[in-house]
Structure 1
Amino acid sequence: MHITKLWVVFLLGLVIPMATQARQTLAVGVYDYPPFYQTHMGEADGVIPDVLHLLNQAQSEVEFVLYATTARRRYKDFQDGKFDLLLFENRQWGWQDYPVHASETLFSGGEVWVTMAASDRHQSYFKQLQGKTLVGVLGYHYGFADLDADPHRLHQHFGMQLVDSQDKVMELLLQERADMGLVAYSFINRYLHQHPELKPRLLISDTFDQQYQHGALLREDATITIEWLNSLFSRLKDNGQLRALWHQHHLLQAPESKSP
């Protein structure tokens, strides 16, 4: 009997470590794209880290972890196998020829033009791009340029200045070093929530440069399936956790219908 108990203890000692190691990790590529991802004081912040927290709480099979890249470098890092999943991405943003599965839609988004308010500036100001100094983010895809993110062509054909963040776009506009800038509507919603004093100083286009459906892009041969991932998203939608997160990050102020 004593020997049997020893064998049980021995076998449990083998099984328990195996159980604790059974949860595999899956890297999620992230790049500066407020309010979905940014760093603050060296800490990851934004919608994506919060979504990963919900995903990790909702199941015990996979540990979703962040892999930091850049908007422009993300394609090479994906090819090199650095990560298998992107959130709040769109296949049309240069992923058409990559081996990825697209998830169900998580959030509908779009980009708008922003300029400094002036007594003689109205919505018609945004209809003419020629002759204006434009600013956007390096690696982002914009509708007016047919989603071409090549920095040389954007500068050559549109005279567009490219910076490394949407915050920098706003900084250049506020310093009047650019005439018009493009930012995500979700970004400007949160930006004005954080800086309400700036609202009277800005004019925002009432149409989108582009509208898109945010979802997840998963590597075709990843250790999880897109169906499994969709079932997780559906669970988080059904129990209201995703919608609560959208409110927490001030993503839902955009009108429900805007024509490009």
Structure 2
Amino acid sequence: MMLFESPGWGWSESLPEVEFGQTLVKGAGRLIALNKQQRRDQAFFNREGLRFGGIIGYHYSFLNNRTDAELLEQKYNVYLSLSHQVNLKMLLNNRLDVVMTHDQYLVQLQDEPWFDQLLLQSEPYMEYDLRSVINPRKGFTLSEWQAVLQPRIDDGSFVALLARYHLPWPPRPLEL
């Protein structure tokens, strides 16, 4: 069982036996850059030669879902790290031009004093529904998972957990 995965990320192709639960979070991938002296606009994201920051193992649709770090570095000028926090620090220190992140992370940072220095891409490069992924062949079924999850939704404990991370219930796209 895995939580917060999207059916659109190829699970059914590689593991046709998996089942997906209800949508838990609606997500979106978004590019961010520094808005130096408030002079940059959305056209900045289309410039040639930009240095990108991404996460090891993530699939980026506009990079043909490739994950090979060496290939991404050489062909697309993408640096891969282990965390969004590392990439954000590199962006703030002018070591990257653009970072690929997601709205669920950005919404947690809105109160940071430097947040208004960021230029957020107006349209996400990807939208997705995050769900549970269950392989019933492993002895735990989707209906058994729902029997565990639904009481936590009903009593508000799951909703409170999502709220700690500024994630709405029922799921809807985040507003930045």
Q: 235-244 or 128-137, which moves further after superposition?
A: 235-244
1:228-243 alignment runs, 5 A limit: 228-243=144-159
**Residues 201-258 of structure 1: per-residue CA shift (max 9 Å, x gap):** 2111121121111011122312221122123333333333322222112234xx8478
Quick check: 1:97 aligned with 2:49?
Answer: no
Count of equivalent residues: 170
Compare CA radii of gyration and give the structure with the larger one.
Answer: 1
Give percent identity, aligned residues only. 23
Aligned match of 1:147:
65
Distance 2:43 2:151 in 1: 43
* TM-score where L is the length of structure 1: 0.59
Match for 1:109 among 2, 27, 39? 27
Distance 2:85 2:5 in 1: 20
The answer on whether the counterparts of 1:110 and 1:184 sit within 8 Å (CA) in structure 2 is: yes
Structure 2 unpaired stretches of 5+: none
The answer on whether the counterparts of 1:173 and 1:181 sit within 8 Å (CA) in structure 2 is: yes
Aligned match of 1:66:
none
Q: Considering Cα pairs closer than 8 Å and 6+ residues apart, tell me whether 1 or 2 has the greater RCO.
A: 2
Quick check: 1:203 aligned with 2:122?
Answer: no
- The residue type paired with residue 100 of structure 1 is V
Quick check: 1:121 aligned with 2:40?
Answer: yes
Distance 2:128 2:66 in 1: 15
Aligned match of 1:173:
91
Quick check: 1:190 aligned with 2:138?
Answer: no
Q: Over aligned residue pairs, what C-alpha RMSD do you find?
A: 2.3
Aligned match of 1:223:
139
The answer on whether the counterparts of 2:28 and 2:173 sit within 8 Å (CA) in structure 1 is: no
Aligned match of 1:39:
none
Structure 1 unpaired stretches of 5+: 1-84
- The residue type paired with residue 89 of structure 1 is E
Cα distance, 1:87–1:124 mapped onto 2, change above 3 Å: same
Is the partner of 1:140 in helix, strand or coil?
coil
Distance 1:87 1:221 in 2: 17
The answer on whether the counterparts of 1:130 and 1:158 sit within 8 Å (CA) in structure 2 is: no
Aligned match of 1:130:
48
The answer on whether the counterparts of 2:25 and 2:129 sit within 8 Å (CA) in structure 1 is: yes
**Residues 172-216 of structure 1: per-residue CA shift (max 9 Å, x gap):** 1011001000112111111334xx211122111121121111011
Is the partner of 2:22 in helix, strand or coil?
coil
The answer on whether the counterparts of 1:90 and 1:213 sit within 8 Å (CA) in structure 2 is: yes
**Residues 144-195 of structure 1: per-residue CA shift (max 9 Å, x gap):** 22333232332233111111111111011011001000112111111334xx
Aligned match of 1:23:
none
The answer on whether the counterparts of 2:72 and 2:78 sit within 8 Å (CA) in structure 1 is: yes
